Amino acid sequence: MRTMNEPALGTLARLRTACSQCSLRELCLPVGLDASELATLDTLVSTRRKVRRGDSLFYGGEPFSALYAVRFGFFKSTLTSGDGREQVTGFYMAGEILGMDGIGADRHTCTLTALEDSEVCVMPFARVEDLSRSFEPLQRHFHKVLSREIVRDQGVMMLLGSMRAEERLAAFLVNLSQRLTARGFSASEFVLRMTRDEIGSYLGMKLETVSRLFSRFQEDGLIEVHQKHVRILDIAGLKRVTAQAQNAS
Amino acid sequence: MRTMNEPALGTLARLRTACSQCSLRELCLPVGLDASELATLDTLVSTRRKVRRGDSLFYGGEPFSALYAVRFGFFKSTLTSGDGREQVTGFYMAGEILGMDGIGADRHTCTLTALEDSEVCVMPFARVEDLSRSFEPLQRHFHKVLSREIVRDQGVMMLLGSMRAEERLAAFLVNLSQRLTARGFSASEFVLRMTRDEIGSYLGMKLETVSRLFSRFQEDGLIEVHQKHVRILDIAGLKRVTAQAQNAS
DNA sequence: CGTAATTTTGACTCCGCTCAATTGGCGTGG
DNA sequence: CCACGCCAATTGAGCGGAGTCAAAATTACG
């Protein structure tokens, strides 16, 4: 973590946290900026923060102060209801923004937990708002990021509200594959960072059902699973499974 | 609808659409502003628009241009998947903001349909962003509204993902009652503006199940239902039904 | 006032849950 | 290095909650 007496701009430390130098730039920041505009954005991130697997970036109920951009790693967000029941509300990977749930009540509602050793860029929210007022492209972009989270959540509502278990799991796999592809990873072979229980919570089914469906998809030649290793053999077939669901009834 | 050659500020027409004069102000706008600040906000709303029962304010796929604040009436938002299956993603009443799903892709993803004759204030989005840059309280407030929609959606995800049918319906009734109370309506007696089918879609169950559960709640002395008329007899009992669910397993 | 739409209720079915036992993977310590 | 223990994942058997199909009742609306 950078300290107060560390020199600010132009140093190596500064460069290391510079958005303008970051390979994930197109994923979390507005595109099509010139060099001087990019320099403006470099003041957005105050520090970086490492989060070890199993540790939480923040907890539900904690005061809200910053947004976070995932630099590398993998997170789940969970909502805990009164008595401790836990619902997974999302999975987040490199380039995605965390913490937007906290803006509304100046307090986080969900908990963000790293599912593998991860690192995030810390963007103090006061700075996000300041910069947004003076720098239109950032304002535009920030609003889009918020809106896309709403659209994503509505997609999950559709998933949970109108699809059957096998359709939900197929959609989940297709979605994962697409997001990994966008980050330069293999579209067909990956390692699940979450447990069957976490997948089940996210998709509104029990872990046994997740396991059974993985086995069935394997029998049907759609995927190959060994524990957390997944290889997609027939992405079109998986998409067909989700589409069927939407056609039915 | 106001026309181009109608004089702009200070007229009766202007006054009629003035936020500073609106009784719903605390529901959709920042609070604690002085008179001159309120006057600034009056330029946010360009016109009002009436939407007849059954008609849509906008459709999924349409270009996005404005946000809307419900003045009176009742809306549902629906998401249509590929082949025409429809998922209700929310119900909106006076003072709530519509259209935020469109910001992310400059195109609405969901359709907003009036369930009774309604009226909305039209806030051209370019104006929202302009004013947000120069007027900090509006910026803050707007961000909070976006964030609260995210939190609301996550609440629905928890509902759909981890609660049983009777728990979901009880939670739905409690939520409706609370929002109606906040608007000065009776907390215990109201008219449902949506069909059993729409409730079922929203809550991830079939209309027959909704109907059966209403009957069961009535047998249990929790509510009284006659078609669309609902009287809540035991709000604590309803809350207990939702809480039970969260405790179980 | 008549027709369509919505709601209610019943009977039966089935998907996904519960309970339970087993297997497999992995880190830790003897 | 292997054995142990722990946690995750798999698989089976049986059950139950919610869905499906169908018919009747009630209401809304042109």
Tell me the mean pLDDT in the region B33-55.
Answer: 91
Residues of chain B with Cβ-Cβ distance to A107 below 8 Å are none
Q: Are A133 and B139 spatial neighbours (Cβ–Cβ below 8 Å)?
A: yes
Q: Angle at Cα B70 formed by Cα B64 and Cα B73, nearest 5°?
A: 125
- Higher-pLDDT residue of B39 and B214 is B214
Q: Are A171 and A159 spatial neighbours (Cβ–Cβ below 8 Å)?
A: yes
Percent of chain A with pLDDT over 90: 77
CATH placement of domain B12-158: 2.60.120.10
User: What is the number of helices (H) and of strands (E) in chain B?
Assistant: 9, 9
Q: State how far the Cα of B121 lies from the Cα of B47, in Å rounded to an integer.
A: 6
Q: What is the DSSP string of chain A?
A: ---TTS--TTSHHHHHT-GGG-TTHHHHS-SS--HHHHHHHTTS--EEEEE-TT-EEE-TTSBP-EEEEEEEEEEEEEEEETTTEEEEEEEEETT-EE-GGGTTTTB--SEEEEEEEEEEEEEEHHHHHHHHHH-HHHHHHHHHHHHHHHHHHHHHHHHHHH--HHHHHHHHHHHHHHHHHHTTS-SSEEE--S-HHHHHHHHTS-HHHHHHHHHHHHHTTSEEEETTEEEES-HHHHHHHHHHHHH--
Q: Is the CB of B216 under 7 A from strand D?
A: no
Euclidean distance between the first and final Cα of chain A, in Å? 55
Regions of chain A where pLDDT drops below 70: 1-16, 83, 244-249
pLDDT in tens, A7-49: 444 455 555 678 888 889 888 889 888 888 888 888 999 999 9
Q: State how far the Cα of B86 lies from the Cα of B36, in Å rounded to an integer.
A: 45
Q: Is the CB of B228 under 7 A from strand C?
A: yes
* Whole-number Cα distances in Å, B145 to A87, B96, B139: 23, 9, 10
pLDDT in tens, B86-132: 999 999 999 999 999 999 999 999 999 999 999 999 999 999 999 99
Q: Is B79 on the interface with A (CB under 8 A)?
A: yes
The token duo for A92 is: 């987040």
Residues of chain A with Cβ-Cβ distance to B104 below 8 Å are 144-148, 150-151
Query: What is the reported pLDDT for A12?
Result: 54
Tell me the mean pLDDT in the region B74-84.
Answer: 88
**Fold of the domain built from segment(s) A12-134:** Jelly Rolls (2.60.120)
Query: What is the reported pLDDT for B16?
Result: 64
Residues 155-194 of B with CB under 7 A from strand C: 192
The token duo for B57 is: 């304010």
Query: What is the reported pLDDT for B248?
Result: 36
Contact B161 A201 (CB under 8 A): yes
Query: What is the reported pLDDT for A244?
Result: 54
CB-nearest to B157 from A140, A144, A153 is A153
pLDDT in tens, B155-171: 999 999 999 999 999 99
Alpha helices in B4-123 (DSSP H): 12-16, 25-28, 35-41
Query: What is the reported pLDDT for B12?
Result: 55
Q: How far, in whole angstroms, is CA B191 from its chain's centroid?
A: 16
Residues 14-73 of B with CB under 8 A from A: none
Question: What's the CA–C1' distance between A248 and D22, in Å?
Answer: 20
**Fold of the domain built from segment(s) A163-247:** Arc Repressor Mutant, subunit A (1.10.10)
Helix (H) or strand (E) holding B48: strand B47-51
Domain boundaries in chain B?
12-158, 163-247
Query: What is the reported pLDDT for B82?
Result: 72
CB-nearest to A110 from B109, B129, B154 is B154
